[in-house]
Structure 1
Amino acid sequence: MALSIRDVQPHELDSVLALNNAAGSTILPLDSAALHALYEQASYFRLAEVDGHVAGFLPALREDADYGSPNFLWFRERYPAFVYIDRIVIAKPYRGLGLGRVFYADVTSYAETRVPLLACEVFLEPRDDISVLFHGTYGFQEVGQQTMLGVGRRVSLLAKTLCSFPFVRDTYLHEPGGRLPDLPWLAERSRTSALTPTRGARAAGGA
């Protein structure tokens, strides 16, 4: 099995939309406009390919995104700096291969050099025990619950403290204008990276 994790490209959004809307009741459906808005705001939007086929995707947003999700806004009201995982979708033929953990390791490596917290939610109505267990074993803890406006389903709001961030902040981001070393694995992983070269420095100010 040949696996690659890479940034989503604009011409692939139709495939991403189809994958999202075929995922089932644990993933909220999107229309094309909503997906493009998410793509515009995401600081991290990556896709998994298995043997050349689209197998899954994960978008995540920083705390300053212009994004109306009630769960994202819940975190923004309570935490000054975080990366919020909006959703993770794995195509049915590729479930059970560990792609969820691959994605979470990748988004964690992105987040832990920028913010102190990784955030997400899981549905409690209907209860998604697979997702609850997955997040619990990955170090997430419940920090709240709410019923989503307009959806009427209760969610558990989860957060994971990123223990590496204080070292990164104090070593590289503490001083005004501080930034991460210019290394490929530390680069922004989004189509907006060229437009936001100082985002790492802003992360230090918000922590």
Structure 2
Amino acid sequence: MALAIRDVREHDLDAVLALNNEAGTGILATDRSRLRHLYEIAHYFRVAEQDGRILGFLIAMRPDAEYSSPNFRWFQAHYESFVYIDRIVIASESRGHGLGRIFYCDVQSYAEVRVPLLTCEVFLEPRNDQTVLFHGTMGFQEVGQQTMGETGPKVSLLARELPSFPFVRERYIEQDGLPAVAWLSERQRPIDGPKVSA
């Protein structure tokens, strides 16, 4: 069966939690309640599924998210409009086959019609040159560094300008808004509650 990149569903969360906590030192471990919070606030939360199995996920959010991550807060303090990649995890047996690039292309297609910047961080302690190189080849530039908390790891804060955004802003956002087509629709987050039609 073909690989599908789709919005996360509530029943995926156990598999997502297991993947997250098996990822190793490059991803902060989490628990059910924190993952549930991310599920509720993330603007972008997609999984890669093949043959009924979750092979990876990516979580991202915009500046209005109620999120206390020090790295997210750093971007909030420095930029008005962005999409922040909180975490990406690929199952160990699926690494090295381009799934990370697929996710980054997908989140870019989400971001570039909404904001001028795509942002994230990479750990410098322990440093993973493969991750640093990956982000460099995807067009990210370092815009800062910080230590997470008083004793946490040092991170490199990265941003990538989205050159399509000025065109979208001028032709669509500042005019009549984005077209009402499925691929441009926002994720229906649980925190949004039921939609009321006029």
Same-fold call, TM > 0.5?
yes
Letter of the aligned partner of 2:37 in structure 1? A
Structure 1 distance, partners of 2:57, 2:150, is 25
Contact 1:43 1:192 in 2 (8 A): no
Look up the match of 2:61: 61
Tell me: CA distance 1:170–1:179, structure 2 relative to 1, closer, same or farther (3 Å).
same
The answer to whether the Cα contact below 8 Å between 1:42 and 1:190 also exists between their aligned partners in 2 is no
User: What 5-or-longer segments of structure 1 have no aligned partner?
Assistant: 198-207
Q: Deviation string for 1:54-102 (max 9, x for gaps)?
A: 1000000001100000000000000001000000000011111100000
- 1:52: how far off? 2.4
> Is structure 2 residue 119 aligned with structure 1 residue 116?
no
Match of residue 86 from structure 1: 86
Read off the aligned partner of 2:158 and give its amino acid letter.
Answer: L
State whether residues 58 and 103 of structure 1, in contact with CA within 8 Å, keep that contact through their aligned partners in structure 2. yes
Q: Are the counterparts in 2 of residues 21 and 29 from structure 1 also a CA contact under 8 Å?
A: yes
Assess if the C-alpha contact under 8 Å between 1:141 and 1:160 holds in 2. yes
Structure 2 residue aligned with 1:173: 173
TM-score by length of 1: 0.89
Shift of 1:191: 2.9
- Map residues 16-95 of structure 1 onto 2, 5 A cutoff: 16-95=16-95
Change (3 A) 1:196 1:129: farther
User: In the superposition, relative to structure 1, how do residues 151 and 41 fare at CA in structure 2: closer, same or farther (>3 Å)?
Assistant: farther
Counterpart residue type for residue 57 of structure 1 = F
Runs of 4+ in 1 over 4 A off after TM superposition: 192-197
**Partner deviation per Cα, 1:1-58 (whole Å, 9 max, x = no partner):** 6210001001111111011000001100001111011111100000001232110000
Q: Indicate if the aligned counterparts of 2:41 and 2:189 stay in contact, CA closer than 8 A.
A: no
In 1, Cα distance between equivalents of 2:190 and 2:171: 25
What residue is the counterpart of 1:98 in the other structure?
98
Does 1:7 pair with 2:46? no
Structure 1 residue 180, shift from structure 2 partner: 0.6
Letter in 2 for 1:179: G
Given the superposition, is the C-alpha separation of residues 76 and 169 from structure 1 closer, same or farther in structure 2, using an over 3 Å criterion? Answer: same
- Opposite residue 17 of structure 1, the aligned amino acid is L
**Secondary structure, aligned partner of 1:88:** strand
Contact persistence 1:46–1:59 (CA under 8 A): yes
1:66 partner letter: E
Q: Report the TM-score, using the length of structure 2 for normalisation.
A: 0.93
Q: Which residue of 2 aligns with 1:200?
A: none
Equivalent residues of 1:44, 1:190 under 8 A apart: no
Structure 2 distance, partners of 1:101, 1:196, is 34
The answer as to whether partners of 1:7 and 1:190 remain within 8 angstroms in 2 is no
Change (3 A) 1:9 1:67: same
Q: Which residue of 1 aligns with 2:181?
A: 183
C-alpha contact 1:45 1:190 (8 A) present in aligned 2: no
Q: Mark the CA change 1:129 to 1:46 in structure 2 (over 3 Å): closer, same or farther.
A: same
Matched residue type, 1:181: P
**SS in structure 2 of the partner of residue 133 of structure 1:** helix
Q: Which runs of 5+ in 2 are unaligned?
A: none
How many residue pairs end up in the alignment? Answer: 195
SS where residue 80 of structure 1 aligns?
Answer: coil
